[in-house]
Amino acid sequence: MSVWNPDNIRDVAESVGIANLNNDVTETLARDVEFRVAQVLEEALKSMRHGKRTILTTQDISLALRGLDVEPLYGYESLRPLRFGEASLGPGQPLFYVEDEEVDFEKLINAPLPKVPREVSFTGHWLAVEGVQPSIPQNPTAADSRNLELVSKGPNANSTLAAMSGSGDVSVKPLVKHVLSKELQLYFEKVCSAFLDEASEDYRTSGYASLREDPGLHQLVPYFVQFIAEKVTHSMKDIFALTQVMHMAEALVQNQSLYVDPYIASLVPSILTCLIGRQVGGSAELGEQFALRDLAASLLGLIGKKYSHASHMLRPRLVRSCLKSFLDPSKPFGAHYGAIIGMQAVGGVEVVRVLVVPNLNDYSKLLSDGLDDSARRPAAERVLNALLAVLSSLRDGQQTLTNGHSAVVTDEMRSKLTEKIGDLIASRIAEANQVQLAHLLLEA
């Protein structure tokens, strides 16, 4: 099926006196027109790039036609022959001119209006996704694919003629998924088993290095993404498996030879689950759980930095997901910790200034309640340290305070900080005597 509308071919045929054009002929001509137009545009774009321009001009089209050995277009072609008249300027000095046709205005006004031309439209669609054609109107159906997949079964029969005539014993070849070679299947199994091998660290390191540097893994990218998603879904209590699949995702993102852009939308949910999930690692030690969240935050920051050019909404959506978890008081402190470091990793200093600082006053009360609870105190302490570390990033790129500023955090500054970010965090800043940070928070 062609993107070029076959009805246009039929209209042109009718304009030159060819009626009842066969559908197969219109389809074939439409595909040929589409190919020729694309060929001309590709050549014209080459001329535009060589001219160091970003706007395609008619001169580029003319150069493309000349390069393809096609007569360039000169204005609009007239189907009426030119009539020349002769005038005499004197003996032996004739002057030829083009006679202008006299137009009858009454006839012109009463003439019927020409047919409205068809509207030009362009649409984009997926021709195939991972080797499989989606069932959409733009793609050929099983009936349409007969003309391409028919094979004549008769003796000494021409398959092309049989398909065109609609006769002959034919069979349809079904559309199937692409099949991985045995080598790639074996490689996939070995790499997955290497990442999940707890006994040999060297085996895991070699698998990580191969996945990060091997250039011939394009067909395996969707399988690795699916493997990561399945492991995160079914191994939420296994801290080792979660950590290893995050390392696998990191290797995929760092591989310079792989085109991972189409799979980022499928990869991000698994990373966010390890970052801001409620229960990550089950009964594992608290340090291992927070180390997993640190790994997920750094990986999320790498994705936001590397693939934000492909989707301008990627980083805002990541920050919004983390902010939603940070502002939810029902979430555990582990999820709050992941949300805080995730926002800082994706958005940097500006996100901390705009989204984190204005919510510290309300969050300080929740954090104080967690520090008073002996069961929640270790996680709350880690969240408090993460907040202080994130706030300290506000000083990056700032000049050191010089004369005219106090060398210590005064009581007045502390009271203002308490009103803005809460007593708990303000007291920690005052105890550490972080004067510059106190000024930046008051100015934020």
Q: How confident is the model at residue 423 (pLDDT cuts 50, 70, 90)?
A: confident
**pLDDT for 274:** 93
Mean pLDDT confidence for 62-77: 77
- 99-128: pLDDT as tens digits: 777 788 888 888 888 787 777 777 777 777
Amino acid of residue 353: R
- The continuous run of DSSP H or E covering 98 comes out as strand 94-98
Mean pLDDT confidence for 385-395: 88
Mean pLDDT confidence for 414-434: 83
Q: How confident is the model at residue 195 (pLDDT cuts 50, 70, 90)?
A: very high
Q: How confident is the model at residue 397 (pLDDT cuts 50, 70, 90)?
A: low
The angle formed by the CA atoms of residues 236, 237 and 241, to the nearest 5 degrees, is 70
More confident residue, 317 or 132: 317
- The continuous run of DSSP H or E covering 84 comes out as strand 84-88
**pLDDT for 131:** 67
- 2-29: pLDDT as tens digits: 677 888 888 888 877 888 888 888 888 8
Q: Is the pLDDT of residue 343 over 80?
A: yes
Report d(CA 142, CA 234) in Å as an integer.
Answer: 38
**pLDDT for 150:** 47
Q: How confident is the model at residue 155 (pLDDT cuts 50, 70, 90)?
A: very low
Lowest mean pLDDT among 218-227, 267-276, 429-438: 429-438
Could you tell me if 128 and 158 are in contact, meaning their C-beta atoms sit under 8 angstroms apart?
A: no
Q: Is the pLDDT of residue 87 over 90?
A: no
The angle formed by the CA atoms of residues 341, 345 and 351, to the nearest 5 degrees, is 85
Mean pLDDT confidence for 82-106: 76
Report residue 414 as tokens: 């502390």
Q: How confident is the model at residue 178 (pLDDT cuts 50, 70, 90)?
A: low
More confident residue, 400 or 141: 141
Report d(CA 314, CA 324) in Å as an integer.
Answer: 16
Q: Is the pLDDT of residue 36 over 70?
A: yes
Residue 96, SS3?
A: strand
pTM over 0.75: no
- The continuous run of DSSP H or E covering 279 comes out as none
Report residue 421 as tokens: 């970010």
- Please provide the average confidence, as pLDDT, over all residues in the chain: 82
